[in-house]
Structure 1
Amino acid sequence: MPIAQKQGVNLYVKRDDLYSLKPGTALQGNKVRKLLPVLEAALEEVEPPVLLSFGGAYSNHLAALATAGAAFKLPVHLIIRGEEVDNPLLQFCAAAGARLEKVTRFEYRRRNDPLWVDGLQKRLAAEHKVGVDRIWLIPEGGTTEKGVANVGKLVEEMTKQLGTIPDYCCVSAGTGGTAAGIIRAADPTTRIEVYPALRGNWMRQEIEQWLNPTHTNNWTCVEGYEFGGYGKFPTAWKRATTGLATRAELDVPGLPPLEPIYTAKLFSGVLDRLKRGVYASGSNVVIVHTGGIY
């Protein structure tokens, strides 16, 4: 890439969008890495559990979980934020066999309330005619302890593919689970840059809940590239696509396929910092492409 060459920086992209259990679908990248442990556990059960999760109407996580449910014959129940919302992604989830339940934004805020969740699981157990223990709760975004640990394998792959330990590893964040997994597995000499897709200074706390004092503190949240907040982005980025997910294109040659919610913001931020000379000449900088291309 000319801009990287001009600055003397070695810029690489970890194409995790190509890591998929079902190529061409939402079940790719960080969604696979976070969901894989629970999917493997579910497939070992004699009686398939009902996979319950939460998300917004444009959630890659929900599309990935619905895809997994159809592929592996697992029942899926999705709680959708915003009762009036409908779009092709939700229509896809329903067509894939997932049950969709739209709730008000007020109700959705209670997704972390143990009493509310307990009542929800009991109701769904009755509806699905299974025991309460067969309703497996997957948090919003798919982030669990085992999922975070599984994301760490990405670091080993990246280092092996690169042939050296990178100086910088840059990743986008929605719930912070992928970033936490990378931070936990990274070499202390690698600087991790986390680019939140949402405004607000709460992302650091979200990530820290998955870390402990033994994990490297060599990471930072790079703010200022949210472009107005979650789901907001410059209209000039938007490109036509035959797929479900919105595509984005930055006016920079040589970039991989991007989507505007996470990866376009990430690449835009890294390239801007590259122009401003943030990365020293000779640095090895890796951008992690987490997926969303389907």
Structure 2
Amino acid sequence: MGPFDWLPRAPLEPLQLDWLNGVELAVLRLDRIDPLISGNKWFKLTEHLAQARDAGASGIISLGGAYSNHLHALAAAGKRFDFPTVGLLRGHAQDTPTVLDLKAFGMQLHWLGYGGYRARHEPGFWLPWHEQYPHLYPVPEGGGGLAGALGCGVLVEQARAQLGNLGWADYDAWWLAAGTGTTLAGLVLAEAGAHPVYGAMAVPDDHGVAQNVSDLVQGGYELLEASRSGFAKVDPVLLDFIERTEQACGMPLEPLYTGKALLALKQQIEAGRFAAGTRLIFLHTGGLQGRRGFNA
């Protein structure tokens, strides 16, 4: 496999919204790096792909749901860089827009049902898949783990390199959605204590975000509840916020991660958490392809 020397650069853009109350906000637009291999998923994959190459693997096998941004980026990367991909999917066969893309990109799909998917953390889960696909390298759900976190460290470098375009000499903190906590952990590792990282949890506590992050880093971050009562749960307040924000600034959001994270930031600013003059970088983690299924 490889080499994978493609390193897209995300633009850092100022964001003007009437609720910022003097807080200065810039957005690192991972949604703009590529039409298909979008968002934070490529960065989470880079170290996994390097490990697969070093292990002599010919391709990647990984897991996700029927709207998975991770599998979508992985399948698109496999097609572009010509390596085989296999997806192990939660639930039963269905043709969502995401799944149709996975097929079009050439990913081989296996539907595990719900019980079979829940077994993904059990010892021995990967053994039969390794026997069936001995030349493929297994990557955790969402591209997680230390390898996924390390691949996200470059995002700190990209943001710092563009501060001058904003007229900023420095910034105060990061703000982003946390689904598994892998990207957040990557930012914390790269910051090495220089700036705090705030993670707006887009999933409930029982999804294990806090444990995932604490397994990778110690300190330098804070997790805040932003799931709005559950994963993939939306409500009229959230949807209205997304619509108003897109009309105000033109930046597209999706309701599962980026919309929830930005709304949580609004609530924290209105509660007085950040004083006027605070400079924050909001990480737009992409995921816009998943809007298709939600809209449908």
TM-aligned CA deviation for residue 255 of structure 1: 5.1
TM-score scaled by length of structure 1: 0.83
- Please name the residue that 2:224 is paired with: 222
Q: 2:271 aligns with which of 276, 280, 285?
A: 276
Contact conserved, 1:250 with 1:264, CA < 8 A, in 2? no
* Residues 146/69 of structure 1: CA separation in 2 closer, same or farther (3 Å cut): same
278, 284, 289: which one aligns with 2:284: 289
Contact 1:48–1:75, Cα closer than 8 Å, also in 2 = no
| Residue 31 of structure 1, aligned match among 20, 41, 52 | 41
SS at match of 1:8: coil
CA distance in 1, matches of 2:192, 2:279: 14
Please tell me whether residue 199 in structure 1 is matched to residue 238 in structure 2. no
Does the CA-based 8 Å contact 1:193-1:222 persist in structure 2? yes
Q: CA RMSD in A?
A: 2.3
User: What's 2:242 paired with?
Assistant: 249
Report the counterpart of residue 74 of structure 1 in structure 2. 83
Partner residue of 1:100?
A: 109
Match of 1:258 in 2: 253
Q: Distance in 1 between matches of 2:113 and 2:17?
A: 48
Residue 116 of structure 1 aligns to a residue whose secondary structure is: coil
CA distance in 1, matches of 2:92, 2:215: 30
Tell me the equivalent position of 1:153. Answer: 154
In 2, Cα distance between equivalents of 1:261 and 1:170: 16
Instruction: Specify the alignment match of 1:245 in structure 2.
Output: none
Q: Which runs of 5+ in 2 are unaligned?
A: 1-15, 290-296
User: Matched residues in 2 for 1:83 and 1:186: separation?
Assistant: 41
Cα drift, residue 198 of structure 1: 0.7
Name the counterpart of 2:178: 173
* Aligned pairs (5 A) from 1:17-166: 17-19=31-33, 23-25=34-36, 27-40=37-50, 49-122=58-131, 124-125=132-133, 132=134, 134-162=135-163, 163-166=168-171
SS in 1 for 2:160: helix
1:88 and 1:12 map into 2 onto residues whose CA distance is 31
Structure 1: distance between partners of 2:192 and 2:258: 23
Alignment CA distance shift 1:250-1:193 (3 Å) = farther
Aligned 8 A contact 2:45 2:151 in 1:
no
Question: CA distance change for structure 1 residues 100 and 236 in 2, over 3 Å: closer, same or farther?
Answer: farther
- CA deviation vs aligned residue, 1:180-213 (integer Å, no higher than 9, x gap): 10111125242211011111153211111112x5
Q: 1:238 to 1:92 in 2, by over 3 A?
A: farther
**1:238: Cα distance to partner?**
5.8
Question: Percent of counterpart pairs with the same letter?
Answer: 30
CA offset digits 1:255-284 (Å, max 9, x no partner): 511111110001111112122221012111
**For each residue in 1:225-252, what CA deviation from the matched residue of structure 2 results, as whole angstroms up to 9, or x when unmatched?**
212311221257669xxxxxxxx93423
SS in 2 for 1:3: coil
TM-score (norm 2): 0.82
Please report how far the alpha carbon of residue 4 of structure 1 lies from its aligned counterpart in structure 2 after TM superposition.
5.2
1:233 matched to which residue of 2? 234
